[in-house]
Amino acid sequence: METARSDFIDFLLNSNALRFGDFVTKSGRPSPYFINTGMFRTGEQITRLGHFYAQAIQERFPSSVDHLYGPAYKGIPLVVSTASALFTLYNRDVGVTFNRKESKSHGEGGSLIGATYDSPAEIVVVEDVITAGTAIGETMELLAHYPNAHVVGLLVSVDRKERLRDDSRSALQIIQEKYKLQATSLIDINDLISALSEE
């Protein structure tokens, strides 16, 4: 297994963000493990997390990508730490946007915080885990209201590689084909299995 993937798994374990037991995912499916990015609670952890994401974006997405989008709530620290790391490590300055769960009618109003896509933007959505793809569907529906928002990629921490009923494709593959974007992950379930079997 390549070093970046192995290092990220070690990071998940050392941060207690990877737990084993009986869990139910957002899609309602049972799972023997759970990735909780809410466990990244210190400046060091958030900084390291951003570095992992930034490295993947630098390697997998072209320089034309100039915005990152983080769905509320867990996507907010992900997108901020990733954008900061992209600038610090690669001198790559990208815009940052995340959403409110409910639109605001006072102040600046609206449902987006950060860049509001007044000019054309190539966007990578930064998420934690993909199971059935429900959250990315909500994100794409929201961003469809912004004509200048062109989502070209999705980066998640863990691809569970779960398949939907009567479909041989994983949720990440379905998202990639449905929205015509590049969907990728820092690690997938096969990486986890391989790493844990070596313990």
Alpha-carbon radius of gyration of the chain: 17
Q: Which residues are within 8 A (CB) of 39 and not within 5 positions of it... i.e. 6 or more apart?
A: 15, 16, 17, 45
Catalytic, out of 26, 104, 145, 178: 104
- Structure-token pair, residue 62: 């072209």
**CB distance 124 to 61 below 8 Å:** yes
Catalytic, out of 26, 67, 101, 106: 106
Q: Would residue 51 show up in a list of annotated catalytic residues for this protein? A: no
Between the alpha carbon of residue 8 and those of residues 1, 75, 84, 96, 107, the distances in Å are 11, 18, 18, 23, 40
Query: Cα 169–196–26 angle (5° rounding)?
Result: 45
Q: Would residue 145 show up in a list of annotated catalytic residues for this protein? A: no
Between the alpha carbon of residue 135 and those of residues 103, 114, 192, 193, 194, the distances in Å are 17, 20, 23, 25, 28
Q: Which residues are catalytic?
A: 104, 106
